[in-house]
A and B are shown apart, each in its own frame.
Chain A
Amino acid sequence: MAEPGAPAPLAPPGPAEPPLLSVRDLSVDYVSDDGPVRAVDRVSFDVARGEVLGIAGESGCGKSTVAQALLRILPPPAVITGGQVLFEGSDLLRLGEAELRAVRWRRLSMVFQSAMDALNPVLTVGEQLADTLRAHGAGRARVRERCSELLALVGLQADRLESFPHQLSGGMRQRVGIAVALALEPALVVLDEPTTALDVIVEGEILQRLLELRRRFGFSVVFITHDLTRMLQICDRVAVFYSGRLVEVAPAVALRESPRHPYTQGLLAAFPSVHGADVELGSIPGAPPSLRSPPPGCRFHPRCGQVVDRCRTEEPRLSALGDRRAAACHLAR
């Protein structure tokens, strides 16, 4: 764990170093009266130490489900129906409640989408930070000092410790959310659409601050958003989800320059570029499939402009394309 006083310069992860988080064939089902519905289907990805991995996709593609499955905090009726989540040498899917409790927040924390709902309205910011610290066994004297320290980290004045959540703006609240997430210096922070409710200026500031902290402390980040432009700016690598499956994963630059999966191409074409030429924005025809009765073969084939016969019958597997990237498409070679 990196100490605040001694920032470790972040070295690029060597090839020999095992990834911090390694998700293998993770599946999540939502159970209903009519039987289980698979929301996340055999998803595999890695997060290296100090890396920022983005997870992109439309609403309902399973990106938030994956994030919450990592911490095993998906509420009923969700069930994890297979796979492994290897984190710092142990499979989180095999841990008992007590062991999970030890890992959560101390090693693996989360920033929630709605900063308002994630903070208790009747407790001051200081009390909430102190609660987190004390729940994991920090001494009384140390707590006070550490609380101010944490607020400073996210760019808030120490006098904000006495504030109640309703006295803070949305951006300040999300900063507090990040401070709470970083309180115990975790190795991995999951950000589940942390800035969706904020304006772009505040969003930019907060994300910059987060990247700065990452450089200082060397934690890894799983960043979830549907804002692909923003994601490409701040992430090292990006994983694209479609209909509960991982369809493409690539370094952010490579993904922006040469997306291999037609869905990624469609997504990118749907976002305006600030710098580039004034081109007409594309969109993807149709709507995402129902998870209850997904189309056979490639799930994207009904909406795909490059569909061939093989796509309709055979499910493409995620295959490595070299250069640390992979795509699940028959056409990507």
Chain B
Amino acid sequence: MSGAGAQPTGVGAWWQAIRRDRKASLGAALLAFFVALGLVGPWLVGSPDALVGIPLQPPSLAHWLGTTGQGQDVLAQTVVGTRVSLLIGFGVGAAVVLLGALLGVTAGYFGGAVDGLLSLLFNVFLVLPGLPLAIVVAAYLPAGPATVAFVLVLTGWAWNARVLRSQTLMLRQRDFIAAAVVGGESHLRIITRELLPNMTSLLVAQLIGSTVYAIGAQVGLEFLGLGDVSGVTWGTNLYWATNDSALLTGAWWTFVPTGLCVALVGFALVMLNSGFDELANPRLQLERAWRGWLLGHRHPPTRSTPVVNVPPQVPRG
């Protein structure tokens, strides 16, 4: 329970939203762990490229997660791979949402020919099959993280733009936008101060969804050998594991740790999302207080207005 009505704003509000929601707290903690791993991890483990032992050793005290088919340390590879994988994931996620917001809101807000042209563009990109296009483009460009990021942004932005355009079209009709126009606000101000804040929960959901997509697709591309196979990322780890026939030889330790990392980061991001709905929708904050109060009175939250503590009545005169 917060104090006397003072609602925190900005970063404080985000922090509180995460802390109040158990799922979001779990997600944030998990994500913080991986971000920390990406930041300082590479200094804590040895070189991922060094040939440290006999190839395909199962986990042991010397090599906690065993060794790869080349005789490299799996733990070192997994930890070092975190940095680039997360960087591309968050970078692509942010770029996709930014591009989508820019084009989608522009199309929805200005309408007319602008909308016609941009909508055509969205539709073309939506029709293009994403993964095959990504594979073809990645195969022709020089391999490396930048290429992977470029390809993922290229194939990923259109859906966000499409959704934000619809949202803008709907909000555009509302009286508060008309009031802002009459009040003489500039287009930029209307878009950034009036429209975008009304889409906060959508934008955050898109950011999280796009990041999950980017991490998964990047791992997928690199797994297929379309990344820079001499680099160390989660995707190339899996590429080398397949290359060394990990499944045939039963060397589960060469791919399970990386796979688990990808799954856990995705899980963390999705958990985190649940806390953010409340931020953008003050009504949900009230619902939380309401639900908590009802549970405190041993009454389940019901669809019809709940009735709590009906005392025996004395008719009044």
Contact = CB atoms under 8 A, between A and B. Distances in A.
Interface of A: 24-25, 28, 31-36, 44, 68-69, 72-84, 93-94, 97, 100, 317-320
A3 B301 CA distance: 39
Given A31-B290, A33-B1, A84-B310, A74 B316 contact: no
Query: How many of chain B's residues touch chain A, expressed as a range?
Result: 20 to 34
Given A24-B315, A97-B303, A80 B308 contact: yes
A79 B308 contact: yes
Given A34-B4, A44-B316, A84-B310, A72 B286 contact: no
B316 A93 contact: no
A319 B316 CA distance: 9
A289 B264 CA distance: 53
Nearest to A104: B304
Given A34-B1, A76-B290, A100 B304 contact: yes
Given A24-B316, A97-B303, 9 more contacts: A34-B1, A34-B5, A73-B305, A75-B305, A80-B307, A82-B310, A83-B313, A84-B310, A93-B307
B313 A25 contact: yes
Contacts of A318: 316
A25 B317 CA distance: 12
Given A24-B315, A94-B310, A33 B294 contact: no
Interface of B is mostly: loop
A79 B293 CA distance: 10
B315 to A, nearest CB: 7
Nearest to B296: A31
B311 A82 contact: yes
B293 A69 contact: no
Nearest to A32: B289
A31 B295 CA distance: 12
B187 to A, nearest CB: 28
B309 A33 contact: no
Contacts of A80: 305-308
Contacts of A35: 1, 293
Contact of A76 (B1, B301, B310): B301
Q: Which 6 A-B pairs have the closest CB atoms?
A: A77-B290, A72-B304, A74-B305, A76-B290, A77-B286, A31-B293
B287 interface: yes
A72 B293 CA distance: 18
A68 to B, nearest CB: 8
Contacts of B317: 319-320
Contacts of B311: 82
Given A77-B289, A77-B290, A84 B305 contact: no
B285 interface: yes
Contacts of B304: 72-73, 97, 100
